[in-house]
Structure 1
Amino acid sequence: MRTVAVLTALALALALPAAPAAADPGLRLPAPTGKHPVGTTSLYLKDTSRPDPWVPSVPYRELMVSLFYPATSAHGQKAQYMTPTESRLLLADGELTDLPSDLLSTVRTDAVRDARPGGRPHSLPLVVLSPGHSKPRATLTSLAEDLASHGYVVAVVDHTYENVAQTFPDGRVTTCVTCEMEKDESDWIRLNQGRATDVSFVLDELLGRWRQIDPARIVMGGHSAGGASSIPALLTDPRINAGFDIDGSTYDIIPESGLAKPFLFLGRAEQYTPGSGNPADTWDRSWAGMTGWKRWLLVDGAKHVSFTDVGILLDQMNLDTGATITADRTQAITRTYVRAFLDLHLRGRSQPLLDEPSPRYPEVTLPKNLSLPHPTGRRPVGSTSLHLKDTSRPDTWVPEVPYRELMVSLFYPTATTHGTKTQYVTAAESAALLADGGLTDLPPDLLTTVRTNSVRNARMAGHHLPLVVLSPGYTKPRATLTALAEDLASNGYVVAVVGHTYENYGTSFPDGRFLECASCAIDHLPGFWEKLAQGRAKDVSFVLDELLGKYRRIDPARIAMGGHSAGGGSATTALVADDRIKAGFDIDGRAYLPLSENLDRPFLYLIKYPTVDATRVQAITRAYLGAFLDQNLKGEERPLLAAPSPEYPEITFCA
């Protein structure tokens, strides 16, 4: 984000014998990919409530804004890319003085000037774009046109005195005052916060003039300094729902309360790979303060200019930018991923592209994105969280609490893949779980970014569904059994994962309370584990009472219970205590209470794998537990349970 020439590090490229090709006036932007014709208009705005931040002698802040929008017709005169004066000053800034000075004014665009806008009142989401420092707003035209063709209103803001050339309706041309400054981190913060103020003023004006804009669906982002400016904008303007930063180092400090709004980082792999030092460290600092949905995407082979029209036009001039992929390709990636981000958070459309690597875009990596394995069944999976309170008994571990309250995650078959994916853990739960593992060098909220496969609050589908109750290991939150629960749900089971309060390092409740592990402070003598098993059995019976009373799609005659470690060890106690449970299983756990009577219901012990990686262990667990449940709750014979299988040579039958 330093003040650089229009062609970053391209002084050497001017020595190449490319001038004849570069002089070709047939420069054009890539066509929009959406179905809507695109219109555009220029707005001159004056904020009389404040002086200009860079030229205080000017008693107001005046801005130029290019507005792109879905139009009713594709017919009409195409908008000019920039004026001849802007072209001359931008080329001079890049030391490209051997080119025709008005060359960039001839660039062909796809937006019809002053076309009639489409859309009903309050029907179109708004995206505000801010360009890189020293660059005019025209350099984001390709992205703006594409978004408009997909049904967005896009406002591209020129921040006066922060770019090399800006033309006003009366013919005045302002130049870059900030380019003459020696900029340290505090200067960038000042610039970013000023841009945030500009954006809030632009929103005031647009929402008062354009009835088509939906005031409840607004995102702000941009390139370089423009992208970095989205953070202070999100922090100061509640109307902005989400933000994105394209290849811009960030300097504004997020307060301890955090930034809960969705955020997308998209940048060069060579600069923003985690752990590579600055500027990646600036993203790391911002990332740690972001408590909501977030993604960190890297594009291999791109350069700073590749993300804007500058890179596209330089490629067409046969000037070498140093990129190893074309700017057209980088622009296609930028358009696709930014639009996916917007469609997810402004339109609620599921976007798997943002959750995992795509074979269509092998250049893009997600270095900060953790994910759970995909379910193996054919059904989409839904999930919801339940807060349950048993007023018939005091809490097992904190007797002064006159009731037992639990959080339960319910997974189930659904009919849709569309919608927001379920959050894996809260920020507080993530920090507690990482601290428990001694992983204090990792971002404390890292586990909030884990990609799950279930749609939050989707509607349950199916009838007479078998139910599986899962209990996690001691000190572990219920989220640690999510991958298993999602897989079972994809194969037609309702799965209730119980969070046993005060038995794990942290449980978040809907009212904001975070309850820590009270039982961890008690001596773990033999009587402790017996008490835990008996308490978990009561928790499970209470959960069954609640679920069978609320969910008519559950078959009360087909219920199994089990879990991992202490959760599995509690299963025999639960089966003895509650005859509604028809089968049980123990995954690598120890039973602490001897059976007081013969247990004539099916039971599976799955313990002590040889040394294999976790992905393989998960596959084995899914296969054998799924076979056990299918055989004992669905009546489907599973040969996998009858004898050793060559597909799973790690498994030994002990009985």
Structure 2
Amino acid sequence: MKRIVLFTVTALTFALGTPSASASPALSLAAPTGSQPVGTTSLYLKDTSRPDPWVATVPYRELMVSLFYPTASSQGPKKQFMTETEAAAVFEEAGITGIPPSVLTTVHTDAVVDARPAGRRLPLVVLSPGFKRPRAELTSLAEDLASHGTAVVVVDHTYENVATTFPDGHVTGCAACGHYDEAFWKKLAGGRAKDVSFVLDSLTHSKWASLIDPARIGMAGHSVGGSSAIGAMVADPRIKAGIDVDGTTDVPLLAPGLDRPFLFLGRANTYTPGTGVESGSWQRDWDQLKGWKRWLVVAGMAHPSFTDIGLVGEQLGLDFGATTPAARGQAVTAAYVRAFFDQHLRGVPQPLLDQPSSRFPEVSFAMTSTPYLPAPTGDRPVGSTAVYLKDTSRADPWVPSVPYRELMVSLFYPAESPRGPKTRYVTAAESAALLDGSGLKVPPDWLTTMVTHSVADARPAGSHLPLVVLSPGYTKPRATLSALAEDLASHGYAVALVGHTYENTGTSFPDGRFAGCASCEVPHDSAFWTKLELGRAADVSFVLDSLTHSKRASLIDASRIGMAGHSMGGASTIPTMVADARVKAGIDIDGRTEVPLTPPGLSRPFMFLSHEQTPACAPNEPWERDWAQLTGWRRWLEVAGTKHASFTDVGLVGDQLGVDVGATTSAARTQEITRTYVNAFFDQHLRGVKQPVLDTPGYPEVSFCR
């Protein structure tokens, strides 16, 4: 049975006893954030094509809606939030005593009643409130959208709310209230879809038709109003984009699903994936959403926090159990709802929807249809360029018929400006090859949509920068270390991210050729891994030769070169440092070293960074063997709750898709830790800046094993 979330009010203690409305403090809604004044009007609509679904004796369906829109002037009488009769019904249903209902009749709003509209053919957003809730609860959101140039219609679903007042003075109650089984919620959702379609028919064939662009209609709702958005979109193709705000979806979205944009926005404690029945309903429908989609959760929110019930209730001293203030909750809701419709009804890209934002740290991306890299933490814009290199001094080790070794390298660096087209993460062919056999239900070119932060071919800023070479894991393309590369560059490093041809799922070359994983067809015995590590060392030395004798030579300080890698890329770091004295410091991120480090060992700084072992800091024979031969500065760190993929973009994408790789520390958190220690290591050993975090663990997840 569905749980009904209404006013969850605790500790109703009022020092004022039973104050009069005039003695109560002034209550207000959130002020609109747009530049345009807001007008509003109430409309009575009557659908004679169907009887009321809740009162069989009423042979028609009558609705009250509030229409909000931009206007030219803020002067004039403001909209009443609720009538006293409506307020009394809301208080009675919630069991609230000690506050006169009249206080809700004086709540300050910003919309001017019956003002003249400004503009025409505006995007239209339909808003639907929660079960038992009046349309007034979405006034702040409606006013905010209208202040940014959107027409908004807020629907009262008659007999599904505790009180609806009609122009002739009659007031309907909640005839739908009572017994709530599966059939009830199915009927409710179906009825709301019909209500919304009727409202759209009415508005687009009325005197308001010129105000609305019928090609740009969206819908959002709270609670059951949000969960009804999916059904309304399935029933009515005019609705181009939809949002469910904190509403459990009781009616499953069936195949073929829905290919229009959709956003889930809910409480973190209820809708974080895996938390219970509520989040399970979103997961079920998420798999049937075939278009652009996001699943966002907000920390510290209660169910009313997304609405004016939470906003006004908090001002009245009601405790809904939220830790995020109601005004902040309203700001979060308005920002994400507005961004969603600006992107999908206006066609204006919204970075807020691409990845978590420092503006709203309460908001987490639980899942997404468009993967993203976390933003770099440094203060410099990042540029990148793809570099093709050809080593004619040796044949390719994996395809002997190729008499040279050709490599693709991504070079990242501080840029003069953050403006310009962002770097493409991978080509369509590389995406398809990497995703092949993954079992993920995404299009083959899905990874081409990855949101990156480096500007393609931007002008570099600075010269003689320390250079870090990054080498990815075996079978992994160079792109899978992009998040780390972008972060290092934002802190003032040049970064060469090497693609080791024929050793990963696929490499695209500038002339259109595509090289697959030829080495994957070779038996993976001890000789294979030795050849792989030593071949990577040769690749890195060739890359250093090429970059330091090219037009990019002035960007790099050849006396300050370091290397880090993940998995086989990390294991290859020691052989590279042994073979090439130019590499002054190195990091092995979770890579098993196959080629032993032999006397006289290595006297340059080196760090091992491992995923969680059982037990913690358990012996690792290859690392123990090489540790004994490291005669310079050295560290051995382990990160609790991590798995092998946690340190790379593979882990980040997995988390964004909701793929469980067995890690208990999120990939985003692991990326933060990895960036911190990699930056600190190179700052200390390439820049000579002492880093305390390398001497004492700076994160509770990090242990110093040696």
Same fold (TM over 0.5): yes
**Residue 159 of structure 1 aligns with which residue?**
157
Q: What amino acid is the match of 1:379? A: R
Partner residue in 1 for 2:601: none
When residues 47 and 585 of structure 1 are mapped into structure 2, their CA distance, relative to the original with a 3 A threshold, is farther
SS of aligned partner of 1:263: strand
Residues 259/457 of structure 1: CA separation in 2 closer, same or farther (3 Å cut): farther
**1:480 alignment partner, SS class:** helix
Q: Secondary structure at the match of 1:619?
A: helix
SS in 2 for 1:305: helix
The residue aligned with 2:676 is: 619
Distance 1:175 1:365, change over 3 A: same
Cα 1:479/1:153, change in 2 over 3 Å: farther
Secondary structure of the corresponding residue to residue 484 of structure 1: helix
Q: 1:204 to 1:535 in 2, by over 3 A?
A: farther
- Kindly state the Cα deviation for residue 40 of structure 1 after the two structures are TM-superposed: 1.0
Q: CA deviation at 1:138?
A: 1.2
Distance 2:295 2:454 in 1: 19
CA deviation string 1:95-132 (max 9, x = no partner): 5588767664444422101212334x55x554332100
Equivalent in 185, 205, 208 of residue 188 of structure 1: 185
SS of 2:19's partner is helix
Partner of residue 220, structure 1: 219
2:141 to 118, 143, 166: 143
- Please list, as runs of the form range in 1=range in 2, the aligned pairs for 1:9-408 lying within 5 A after superposition: 13=12, 18-20=17-19, 24=23, 28-34=27-33, 35-45=35-45, 53-54=53-54, 62-95=62-95, 104-119=104-119, 121-122=120-121, 125-169=123-167, 171=169, 173-184=171-182, 186-203=183-200, 209=208, 211=210, 219-233=218-232, 240=239, 242-251=241-250, 252-253=252-253, 255=255, 261=261, 263-267=263-267, 269=269, 271-272=270-271, 275-286=274-285, 292=292, 294-300=294-300, 302-318=301-317, 321=320, 327-328=326-327, 330-336=329-335, 338-339=337-338, 347-351=348-352, 355=356, 364=362, 366=364, 368=366, 375=376, 377-381=378-382
Once the two structures are TM-superposed, the CA of residue 487 in structure 1 deviates from its matched residue by: 2.1
Amino acid corresponding to residue 380 of structure 1 in structure 2: P
Alignment check: 8 A CA contact 2:382 2:454 kept: no
Is the 8 Å Cα contact of residues 26 and 107 (structure 1) preserved in structure 2?
no
CA contact (8 A) 2:77 2:113 kept: yes
Q: How much has 1:212 moved relative to structure 2?
A: 5.5
Deviations 1:392-442 (A, max 9, x none): xxx99999xxxx99999775655666899999899x989x99x99xxx9x9
After superposition, the Cα gap between the structure-2 partners of 1:479 and 1:31, relative to the gap in structure 1 and judged at 3 Å, is same
Counterpart of 1:566 in structure 2 is 568
CA distance in 2, matches of 1:517, 1:460: 31
8 Å contact kept, 1:241–1:262: no
The answer to whether the 8 Å contact 1:273/1:298 transfers is: no
**SS of residue matched to 1:610:** strand
Q: Distance in 2 between the 1:236 and 1:477 partners?
A: 43
**Distance verdict in 2 for CA 1:283–1:469, change over 3 Å:** same
Deviation at 1:137, TM superposition (A): 0.7
Determine if contact 1:350/1:418 at 8 Å carries over to the other structure: no
Aligned partner letter, 2:181:
K
Report the Cα distance in structure 2 between the residues aligned to 1:531 and 1:205, rounded to whole angstroms: 73
Deviation readout 1:24-44 (Å, 9 max, x if unpaired): 576533251424322112234
User: In structure 1, what residue type is equivalent to 2:296?
Assistant: W
Evaluate the alpha carbon distance shift between residue 502 and residue 351 of structure 1 in structure 2; reply closer, same or farther with a 3 A threshold.
Answer: same
Quote how far apart the aligned CAs of 1:78 are: 1.3
So what's the TM-score if we normalise by structure 2? 0.63
Measure the CA separation in 2 of the matches of 1:232 and 1:408.
48
Amino acid corresponding to residue 250 of structure 1 in structure 2: T
Paired residues of 1:37 and 1:70 also in contact (CA < 8 A): yes
Distance in 2 (alpha carbons) for counterparts of 1:478 and 1:410: 11
Q: Mind listing any 5+ residue stretches in structure 1 that lack a counterpart?
A: 509-514, 576-581, 595-602, 632-637
- Cross-structure match for 1:512: none
Distance change >3 Å, CA 639–CA 407, structure 1 → 2: closer
Residue pair 1:561, 1:571 contacting (<8 A) in 2 also: no
Q: Given residue 376 of structure 2, which amino acid in structure 1 is its aligned partner?
A: P
Unaligned runs of 5+ in 2: 391-395, 509-514, 597-603, 609-622, 624-634, 640-669, 698-706
Q: How many residues align?
A: 602
Gap change, CA 1:373 and 1:91, over 3 Å in 2: closer
Contact 2:354–2:372 (CA<8 Å) still a contact in 1? Answer: no
Preserved CA contact (<8 Å) 1:39 1:116? yes
- Match of 1:600? none
Q: Do the aligned partners of 2:537 and 2:575 also contact (CA within 8 Å) in 1?
A: yes
Aligned partner letter, 1:155: V
Contact 2:383/2:455, CA 8 A, preserved across alignment: yes
Secondary structure (helix, strand or coil) at the match of 1:266 reads: strand
In structure 2, give the amino acid aligned to 1:621.
V
Report deviation, 1:573. 11
CA contact (8 A) 1:256 1:289 kept: yes
Matches within 5 A, 1:633-652: 638-639=687-688, 648-649=694-695
Give 1:505-520 correspondences, 5 Å limit: none
Preserved contact between residue 422 and residue 456 of structure 2 (Cα < 8 Å): no
Residues 410 and 494, structure 1, Cα contact 8 Å, conserved in 2: yes
Once the two structures are superposed, residues 573-619 of structure 1 have per-residue CA deviations (whole angstroms, 9 ceiling, x without a partner) of: 999xxxxxx9899753689999xxxxxxxx99866641244655543
SS in 2 for 1:366: strand
- What is the TM-score with the length of structure 1 in the denominator? 0.67
C-alpha RMSD of matched pairs (Å): 6.3
From 610, 634, 638, the counterpart of 2:636: 610
Q: Kindly state the Cα deviation for residue 18 of structure 1 after the two structures are TM-superposed.
A: 3.1
Structure 1 residue 5: deviation in Å? 9.1
Q: C-alpha distance in 2, partners of 1:536/1:489?
A: 23
Of the structure 1 ranges 164-173 and 67-76, higher mean CA displacement relative to structure 2 is found in 164-173
SS at match of 1:248: coil
Contact 2:356 2:363 in 1 (8 A): no
